[in-house]
Chain A
Amino acid sequence: MERTKLLWLREQLEIWEKEGIITKQNKTDIRNYCGKIPLKKTPTLKRLSLILGGISLILLGCFLLLAGFWHSFSPNGRFDIILVMLTVVLGIEALVLWQTKPGSTIRDIASIMYMVVMLVATYLMSDVYPLGDINGVGILITIVLSIFTGYFMKSAYVVGFSLLLSILWCTTSTAYLYGAKLVWLLILLALPFYKNMLKDDTYTSNSKIFVSWSLVMAVFFSFFFTLQTTGASINILLLTNLALITYLLGRISKMHGLWSLPFRSIGIAGLLYVIFVGTFSGTWSDIASLTTIHAVDYLLAFSSLGIIGYLIFIVCRQKLYLDIFIAGFAPIMGLCTIMACYQIMPLVITVLLNIYTLVVAALFVLAGIWQHKSSMINLPIIVLVDMILARFFDPSFTFLERGISFITVGLLVLIGNIIYLWNKNNTDQRFNREVKKRPLKTKNIPTTTESEQNIDIIDNDSIDNDKAGKETIDE
């Protein structure tokens, strides 16, 4: 049994015994049945935060001491201090590598500490030897070396943070000068680690989820960065395909663990963004006004469609039929783009996209009702809210039209909510009325008469066992 459940049970057993619901013997039996509470091998998140907080405070203290006198040192003196800092952190890392086993929390802490010190060291270097961009080169060096550190220290967190740092790096002018290729190379550098990590049991579930979030976010940011630097023309189609690939990968890997959640979440978020943007006629007017579409865009669009096709094939094999309709957004977006290129009215395109979105939303609602899954109904609601919000900014509708429609939808939501709450309240009250009819009166250990009175509430078997236990002792 899980540790948290056992801890809860331990507390409850004491209360139940005191309340007279169970006997001491019952308590012992339940304890024996459930087994020992497993001891934690890794520190809790709270303890980990405290350790990290303490280390951070010490480092900040050192930093403040150094900052006060920093500029009184000569450039060479500052360079020496930086080298000393690096030597110390590398020494700590060596000690940790030598003394600890893979997957230990100390390794994670040492790796993150190396990353932070490397970041500070390169920042200080760019302060001593200023060459333009605040620390673009330094951040790049830190990312590469931290990913390497993640490999030999077997630290998932440092790789995750490196991927997040690559998002920050995209904002520097150094990244803009080097282009998007380098960001993709950084992600590729982390991919073998990620692949091995998912199969390796030394990594905790939390670390796997964290790296998954970081990876998917880094991929999306890199994609946006690529679009920005290359000036891609059919952004909406490419973004749709990326979102769908991410979502479908998450869907087909759902059974393998919770690490697939970021894929599904960010994939759906990307798709919602695309639906939001796609419902504006201006988006399609912009595509219609394009004079040329780059060959790279065609290549990316077709290759991503091919990947989606392959993923649909796997989705079909796993009998996730409803996801095929979500994947259908790829050809629909492709069709919309082609229509826009052929100068078809943007309004027609937005209507087509809206109809398809509503059809998929309706299918999800029906499936949710059919399978009694409220989670399936949530997605269409979010999609509808997304589409309604898009109208708030849509200049093709007058303020009067938008105002009235928003008030109407708002009232409908409120009325729906009131009905739902009223219905839920009724159910709760009905349940409470039934409970009041048979109150629990016992406070002491049940004796013969009391236990007979409460026999319908207390587990029959436990009373029998209790009696049997007493008889055995008497004998």
Chain B
Amino acid sequence: MNKFSYYLKSPWLYYLIVVILSVLSVVYMQQRYTTMLQGGAEYQWPVKVEYSTNWVPDDSLTIKFLGNKTSWIGEKQPSIGKPIYVALGVQPNGVLYVKNASDRKPLEGEYILATAEEYTDGLVEFSIPYNKVRVNLEKVNPIFYNGQYKGLLMATLKLKNGEAVVTGVYNQGISLELAEPSSDAELMNKKDALLLPSAIINEENKKTQTSY
């Protein structure tokens, strides 16, 4: 008993606990990501990609999820900059669409955690924080991410308990590293075949007309 209490008072015991917990915590952070990457169903979401130049060289693209505005069904108004739950529906082809947003976790169906950006007239605009995809930038055509590309890209992502991991970005089914950007004329012909929610396409068209 005395020996036990001696060890219990020893700082080395607590040091050992801290060592184990320090290593376990980084392993946990790795496993949290890789487990999501390996399991569960994969969905698609129409996106745009951007590259932000940081002072540290980066090998990932920032994803902007399209159709990021929906009706708010929460009890109170959303707090701007705070997390909200976005309920998602899945089309037969695996493309996700936004149903509504709330401050409470949906009881059934898929959902994703997002950040409230703006709230007007019962509509909330949100951003999704799971917005990084690692690519080989040397192989990706810069037109895709420098704001010139008018076509829609599709991101594949895995969802679990509101968290998501983006597994890749595709242009007409081809990985961004291998794909070539389509011309404007090709885009006009193929737009109807994308099977995206019409609201997203219309909204995107409006933005494109204003931007270019």
Contacts and interface: CB of A to CB of B under 8 A. Distances in A.
Interface of A: 67-68, 70-71, 75, 79, 82-83, 86, 90, 93-94, 97, 118, 121-122, 125-126, 128-133, 137-138, 141, 144-145, 148-149, 151-153, 173, 176-177, 228, 231
B26 A177 contact: no
Ranked 8 nearest A-B pairs via Cβ: A129-B33, A152-B14, A152-B11, A132-B129, A71-B59, A125-B29, A130-B132, A141-B25
Contact of A148 (B17, B76, B115): B17
A231 B78 CA distance: 12
A118 B163 CA distance: 24
B129 A133 contact: yes
28 contacts: A67-B57, A70-B57, A75-B134, A79-B26, A83-B23, A86-B22, A90-B22, A94-B15, A97-B11, A97-B12, A122-B26, A125-B29, A125-B30, A128-B30, A129-B33, A130-B33, A131-B163, A132-B113, A132-B130, A141-B21, A148-B17, A148-B18, A152-B12, A152-B18, A173-B115, A176-B82, A177-B83, A231-B76
A153 B19 CA distance: 13
Interface on chain A toward B: helix, strand, loop, or mixed SS?
A: helix
A13 B115 CA distance: 68
Contacts of B17: 148
B32 interface: yes
Given A75-B134, A97-B15, A145-B22, 12 more contacts: A68-B57, A86-B23, A94-B15, A97-B12, A125-B29, A129-B29, A130-B33, A130-B132, A132-B113, A132-B163, A145-B18, A153-B11
A173 B83 contact: yes
B34 interface: yes
Contacts of B59: 71
A141 B26 CA distance: 9
Contacts of A94: 15
A121 B26 contact: yes
B191 to A, nearest CB: 31
A149 B21 CA distance: 11
B14 A148 contact: yes
Contact of B15 (A122, A133, A152, A228): A152
A70 B136 CA distance: 14
Contacts of A79: 26, 30
A67 B22 contact: no
B58 interface: yes
A131 B165 contact: yes
B1 interface: no
Interface in B24-39: 25-26, 29-30, 32-34, 36
Contact of A71 (B21, B58, B113): B58
A220 B184 CA distance: 57
Contacts of A151: 14
A97 B16 CA distance: 12
A93 B14 contact: no
A71 B57 contact: yes
Contacts of B132: 130
Contacts of B130: 130-132
B195 interface: no
A375 to B, nearest CB: 42
A257 B171 CA distance: 68
Contact of A82 (B26, B113, B115): B26
B107 interface: no
Contacts of B21: 141, 144-145, 148
A75 to B, nearest CB: 8
Contacts of B134: 75
Given A132-B163, A152-B15, A176 B83 contact: yes
A86 B23 CA distance: 8
A148 B17 CA distance: 9
A126 B26 contact: no
B56 interface: yes
B18 A67 contact: no
A131 B33 contact: yes
Contacts of A176: 82-83
A129 B60 CA distance: 11
A211 to B, nearest CB: 19
Contacts of A75: 134
